[in-house]
Amino acid sequence: MTPPDLDRKTALFLDLDGTLLEIAATPEQVVVPPGLPALLAQLHHQLGGALAIVTGRPLTQIDELLRPFVSTAAGEHGVSLRYADGTREELRGEMAMPAVWREALQAAARQWPGVLVERKPHGLAVHYRLAPERADEVWRLVRELVPPEHPWFRLVPAHEAVEIGLRTASKGDAVERLMAHAPFHGRRPIFIGDDFTDEAGMTKARELGGVGLRVAEAFGGDPANVRAWLMQGAQRLDDRLPSSKMSSGAMP
């Protein structure tokens, strides 16, 4: 699949880990290329603000990683939305995630060196990238805690990790909600993602007349290729911008 050219009627939705950034051993160890925030800011300006980060990370982490760039964003797979005017919206479940789940997973992780429990405002993630031999045990435990028929929470597969999140949230729902508002409304959405949680966002983009791109298929599985495509798009959108300015820093 060949990625389409960006134009000034594009609405761009970008996943973070595995799409804009290379996957790291732990969420804290990701490296943000020095030129990425400036590139995103340039595209944000060129697209009239119609650029959103849609990720499993909380909004605060998005801002910390991409500082000083701040934009429309969906955190925790759509549980938290920040619109273009800065307004925030939170999906509310019928109940908070039971503390006993977190306690059980943290107790197990203490017995499983390399397994990490990442707390989030509305859920948590269990990472076993550093202990892949524990995958079956991790999944067995989370399935015991959160059965498939649970009315409010669900399990979300990720790269060598599993998340417990709100059943009502998805990246597809986030795209639909954002596309109903300026500056996204009336544009052609392009959603780029790399794993299971991004499929709903890609599907919704296609339903709304746009494109859903998997990093593995459209960019050879390499976030550097995504960043290079974004840089080329920015240069096409503003042919008055010197190439040296866009390629400054360590991009892609």
Q: Check if 17 is active-site.
A: no
Class of residue 240 by CB neighbours under 10 A (exposed 0-12, middle 13-18, buried 19+): exposed
Containing H/E element for 54? strand 51-54
Report d(CA 40, CA 189) in Å as an integer.
16
3-class secondary structure for 146-214?
CCCCCCCEEEEEECCEEEEEECCCCHHHHHHHHHCCCCCCCCEEEEEECCHHHHHHHHHHHHCCCEEEE
Report d(CA 101, CA 43) in Å as an integer.
41
Contact (Cβ atoms closer than 8 angstroms) between residue 79 and residue 173: no
Among candidate residues 5, 15, 136, 239, the one labeled active-site is: 15
* All residues at 6 or more sequence positions from 119 whose CB lies less than 8 Å from its CB, including other chains: 102
Report d(CA 60, CA 89) in Å as an integer.
14
**Total H helices, total E strands in the chain:** 9, 11
Class of residue 171 by CB neighbours under 10 A (exposed 0-12, middle 13-18, buried 19+): buried
Report d(CA 84, CA 88) in Å as an integer.
9
Which sequence positions are flagged as catalytic? Answer: 15
